[in-house]
Amino acid sequence: MSATESGAEAYTATLKELVTFMHPTQRLDLKAVALTHVLSLTGSEDGKKAILTLDDVLIALFNLTHDDNHTVAKDAVLSLINLSAEEVGAVKVFETAKSLTPAFPLVSEAIKQITEEKSKLADPWSMVLSNLTRSEKLVEDIIIELELNNKTLPNLLKAFTKLDYNKEKAKLHYLAPIFCNLTQSGRGRELACNAKYDFLEKILPFASYEDSIVRRGGTIGILKNICFDPMYHSIILNEKDDILHAILYPLCGPEEFTDEENEKLPIELQYLPETKTREEDPDLRKMLLESLLQLCATKRFREVLRSKGVYEILREYHKWEAKFGKDKECLLACENVVDILIKKEEEIGLDNYKEVEVPEDVADKFIKEDSEYLQNVL
């Protein structure tokens, strides 16, 4: 028996005793104390492992999310957040809720609380749903539930885009990673790009939202996921330039361009002020650069990117990253895009990079070269 297994088993007897005090009709003081103990156990790996082996404890937590006492209900939801933080826990929580008779409506309860303007538990429930949707095993089933009501996605989108939506001051930042997680799936990307929702148009401003890295990062993640699907490149690189602007703007600084270079850029990126700063988080900068790399897949869109001044923006970005950002992976990601854009199509000699099958030994060579670059750069 491993130390982790023995640690988890040590909690089992305690949990079996605590669950007897977690019935909805139990005295409030007993419920509250028992739930406080369970919540504290969800903060440790051994505690989580023990709870996830006891369906009775999970069922008690589901029931207490509806408790009349706000503190009890909140602690129950906070416990579900911790239990679903890793995929194995998320799957167990989801499947246990689904297996009950009647099933506990985990997803619909989360949506109800998130979209209820006066909900005091909107933020904790959004974190539960964010954890659940992160699992590729669950995301398809969750999308099916979302689509049962054609008002669900518009309501979630409204809650996300209206900053003062929740009257109890819930921020709802975690809707961004929820949407990002949904776009892992082909159906999720299809919904995000469906013109009837205006989904992309409504979320774009949040790719540069300074007040929350969670909201900003989730939005950038959505754009990255969609860029990885060539089916939507024509939507991303449309005549309005709004999506390209959202991708490029965080990478732009205050540098001045020549008039000729400025004419290439999307109108919103021309003559930026001296106070313009770049995205501060290197992981998000890398995601934006990886998005641009995916858009370089075909000749048609490589030419669009060149015509929009993407090379010129990345030329200045690279100088800044080398001097100030100093993130090796971002430098490599930038150079990967620039290496394509500076080549003439005659040099590239193919239409679609994604259709090229790279032999395993060549792929290994590229990986080795990238690793050596990251060791030696800067």
d(CA 127, CA 371): 35
pLDDT digits (tens, 9 = 90+) for 38-57: 999 999 999 999 999 999 99
pLDDT score of 360 more than 60: yes
Tokens (6 digits) for 175 = 């809707």
Tokens (6 digits) for 95 = 């499947």
pLDDT score of 158 more than 50: yes
- φ, ψ for residue 352 (rounded to 5)? -130, 115
pLDDT score of 187 more than 60: yes
Residue keyed to tokens 């929350």:
212
pLDDT digits (tens, 9 = 90+) for 316-337: 999 999 999 999 999 999 999 9
Q: What is the mean pLDDT of the chain?
A: 93
pLDDT digits (tens, 9 = 90+) for 190-235: 999 999 999 999 999 999 999 999 999 999 999 999 999 999 999 9
Single pTM value for the model: 0.92
DSSP conformation letters of 235-290? HHT-TT-HHHHHHHGGG--S----HHHHHHS-GGGTT--TT----S-HHHHHHHHH
What's the pLDDT at 311? 98
Which structural domains are found in the chain, ordered by start? 1-102 (1.25.10.10), 105-227 (1.25.10.10), 230-378 (no CATH)
